[in-house]
Chain A
Amino acid sequence: MTLMDKIDYSMDKILEVKNLRTSFFTDAGELKAVDDVSFNVYSGKTLGIVGESGCGKSVTSLSLMRLIPSPSGKIIGGEILYKGRNLLELKPHEMRSIRGNEISMIFQEPMTSLNPVFTVGYQIREVIGLHQDLSRKEVHDQAIEMLKLVGIPSPEKRIHDYPHHLSGGMRQRVMIAMALSCNPQILIADEPTTALDVTIQAQILELLKELQQKVGMALILITHDLGVVAEIADEVAVMYAGRVVEQGLVRDIFSRPQMPYTQGLLNSIPVLSRHSSGRVKKRLEAIPGIVPNMLSLPEGCRFQDRCSYAIDLCKEREPDLRIVASQSGIPHFIRCARDI
């Protein structure tokens, strides 16, 4: 890490999330799905948000777009500063002019995220026509251009296809084309490859990386797959039970994970190591136990029940995020009372 990198980082901060809190109000009580989460997003860089199912990573991404299902869900605190403007204070129509235009989103389920009864061309043209002042012809040409950009062969023909004519990977490409068609500053990708075949996953990730370099947007990648993060993210925030528990540069965290939960996640990636006699299977480690019930969280650290390092202190009070030393010099945060 050079000084230049540091300067770069402080300069292109495009999104600043401060103390975001999103809750769902259920019959059984308040469920704090996102509890005091803060992070920054930089132009041209990728932030990975990682965690198990139900840790609040998807709710975080939906909160950024203000697409939390209401009335049960509500953003109850914090700020989301996009270019200095707090998105949480915008009027609905101001927020709509940002969605799909300056901040776009793609989703986990390409099979169901496209409307089955409209052609893909219609669905791409719709977003272009909504946010840009172009003639019908220009809108149509740009839609074809977008399909070409995401690597869909013979886009002039495919534009008349309905989603059910396309495979999962192709549909996700259409979703990406749709999301990028207004040149957004930020693309939020919520588990974009989870529902796809492994070979297609790699293609889509490659495409995202390539497009990011082409258009210089910031990418927020929500995933449970640390392999994906290692491949394309610059920074990573690890979430657990609605909290950020570790945050920093990918290379710092992967080389020296400091929170036991992150260590557990890294250990639970299957490894195939090659031996002279062939492949040797290493026993796969798993994090014991299950995610805590979000309606009745334990006192103290939320990870204590599954942590092999837990001490009495962990049960007494929840540790704050604190900075630990990192190789790069960029702050590395962990939420752990112990030095491991």
Chain B
Amino acid sequence: MLFYIIRKIISTIPTIFGVALIVFILFNLVGGDPTYQMVGRHANAQQIEELRHEYGFDQPKYIQFSHYLKQIVTFDYGRSYATKQPINQMILNGIGPSLSLMLPSFFVTTILAVSTALLVAYFRGRAIDKICVIISVFGMSISMLAYILFGQYFFAYKMGWFPISGYETTWPECFQYIALPMIIFIIVSLGYDVRFYRTAILEEVNQDYVRTARAKGLSESAILFKHVLKNSMIPIITNVVIEIPLLILGAFLLESFFGIPGLGSITIDAVHNSDFPVIKAMTTLVAILYVIGNLATDILYTFVDPRVSLK
């Protein structure tokens, strides 16, 4: 197992290198020279030259690329053009708010979605199942933007139940700020997740081993919670792990609409300000998180399915 993990981590190096190369090409060769944007309209040639030298843009591309690779390894992405803060500090500051919103949302969503899916799978084909599917489709068909605007206008502004936006780093004050975005996240994700997990579970319900379990005299709930659930874990885990990078990065829309200073907000601000080093750092971070997520999936598979062996 340990050997497998080590080998798997080594094998991710080319993947991350490839991502880095593409990001570098997009930012440095396609994107144009960022200096012109930074100096503004009234700069003279000397100012531009000085700035280019300061940021290292006058150096050959391969040196710039190796510098970027060094940044990835050392987790030192330099400073933001816009705020002049060290980027790694910005990331560390942003992780807390992002996680405070996303972790509880994510856990509540997953638990609610899996249990609802089991419930509707139990009542498959009957009215409660059909109603749940209709609500799910309805819920996932509405844009998150609509929920945000409705929630902010109705629950925050009209009813005054929640603050419209803002954030507080101290607990429990922060809860009042993340409550509404959390509810919106859960509602938006629930529709999709319930449908996905329901399909995964129903896929198993018609398998032969379920018939065997019935022939043994097991009750439907024992069959569903023991035999079927364990077999459905592979698609469930896959779906859960895919959402992990999202978890750290936060939901862009939610963070920026509710003024939560998480990684999502930082990224959106960076895009607005053409703050290339920050965008580059975030893009790289997401890529690395995905790679880690995939590794975690492979390892988790071995716990739920004995047929998967890591060699």
The chain A residues found within 8 Å of chain B, CB to CB, are 65, 67, 71, 93, 96-101, 104-105, 107, 109, 112-119, 126-127, 130-131, 162, 164, 175, 178-179
A71-B125, A115-B231, A116-B231 known; A130 vs B211 contact (CB < 8 Å): no
10 smallest beta-carbon distances between A and B, as pairs: A100-B216, A100-B217, A99-B217, A112-B208, A115-B209, A105-B215, A127-B216, A162-B306, A96-B217, A113-B208
Residue of B nearest to A93 (CB): B219
Instruction: Find chain A residues with CB under 8 A from B213 CB.
Output: 115
How many A-B residue contacts, CB cutoff 8 Å? 72
The B275-308 residues at the A interface (CB cut-off 8 A) are: 304-307
A126-B216, A127-B216, A130-B218 known; A112 vs B209 contact (CB < 8 Å): yes
| B52 CB–A CB distance under 8 Å | no
Contact between A127 and B208, CB atoms less than 8 A apart: no
Per the bound structure, the CA–CA distance linking A115 and B304 in Å amounts to 12
Instruction: Find chain B residues with CB under 8 A from A178 CB.
Output: 212, 216
How far in angstroms is the closest Cβ of chain B from A123?
8
| B214 CB–A CB distance under 8 Å | yes
| B207 CB–A CB distance under 8 Å | yes
| B227 CB–A CB distance under 8 Å | yes
Instruction: Find chain A residues with CB under 8 A from B216 CB.
Output: 99-100, 126-127, 130, 178
Per the bound structure, the CA–CA distance linking A60 and B214 in Å amounts to 16
Contact between A67 and B217, CB atoms less than 8 A apart: no
The chain B residues found within 8 Å of chain A, CB to CB, are 125, 207-209, 211-219, 227, 230-231, 304-307
Contact between A114 and B212, CB atoms less than 8 A apart: yes
Contact between B209 and A116, CB atoms less than 8 A apart: yes
Residue from the set B207, B216, B305, B306 with the largest chain A CB neighbour count within 10 Å: B216
Per the bound structure, the CA–CA distance linking A105 and B231 in Å amounts to 22
Contact between A67 and B218, CB atoms less than 8 A apart: no
Chosen A-B contacts, 10 in total, with CB atoms closer than 8 Å, are A71-B125, A96-B218, A107-B212, A113-B209, A115-B231, A117-B305, A119-B306, A126-B216, A127-B217, A162-B307
Residue from the set B212, B304, B307 with the largest chain A CB neighbour count within 10 Å: B212
A117-B306, A162-B307 known; A67 vs B214 contact (CB < 8 Å): yes
Instruction: Find chain A residues with CB under 8 A from B125 CB.
Output: 71
Per the bound structure, the CA–CA distance linking A99 and B227 in Å amounts to 17
Contact between B212 and A113, CB atoms less than 8 A apart: yes
Per the bound structure, the CA–CA distance linking A26 and B289 in Å amounts to 49
Contact between B211 and A107, CB atoms less than 8 A apart: yes
Instruction: Find chain B residues with CB under 8 A from A118 CB.
Output: 227, 230
Residue from the set A67, A104, A116 with the largest chain B CB neighbour count within 10 Å: A116
A65 contact from B215, B219, B230, Cβ within 8 A: B215
A116-B306, A117-B304 known; A97 vs B217 contact (CB < 8 Å): yes
Residue of B nearest to A103 (CB): B215
Residue of A nearest to B215 (CB): A105
Contact between A104 and B218, CB atoms less than 8 A apart: no
Instruction: Find chain B residues with CB under 8 A from A109 CB.
Output: 208
How far in angstroms is the closest Cβ of chain A from B197?
17
Instruction: Find chain B residues with CB under 8 A from A179 CB.
Output: 215
Per the bound structure, the CA–CA distance linking A142 and B227 in Å amounts to 22
Instruction: Find chain A residues with CB under 8 A from B212 CB.
Output: 107, 113-115, 175, 178
A115-B231, A117-B231, A164-B306 known; A130 vs B208 contact (CB < 8 Å): no
Per the bound structure, the CA–CA distance linking A164 and B306 in Å amounts to 9
Contact between B209 and A100, CB atoms less than 8 A apart: no
How far in angstroms is the closest Cβ of chain B from A122?
10
A104 contact from B208, B215, B306, B307, Cβ within 8 A: B215
Instruction: Find chain B residues with CB under 8 A from A164 CB.
Output: 306-307
Residue of B nearest to A122 (CB): B226
Contact between A115 and B217, CB atoms less than 8 A apart: no
Per the bound structure, the CA–CA distance linking A104 and B216 in Å amounts to 7
How far in angstroms is the closest Cβ of chain A from B185?
31
Extra 5 A-B pairs, beta carbons < 8 Å, given A98-B217, A107-B215, A131-B217: A67-B211, A93-B219, A99-B214, A127-B216, A130-B218
B207 contact from A98, A100, A112, Cβ within 8 A: A112
Per the bound structure, the CA–CA distance linking A52 and B137 in Å amounts to 44
Per the bound structure, the CA–CA distance linking A178 and B307 in Å amounts to 22
A99 contact from B215, B230, B231, B307, Cβ within 8 A: B215
Instruction: Find chain B residues with CB under 8 A from A127 CB.
Output: 216-217
Contact between A117 and B217, CB atoms less than 8 A apart: no
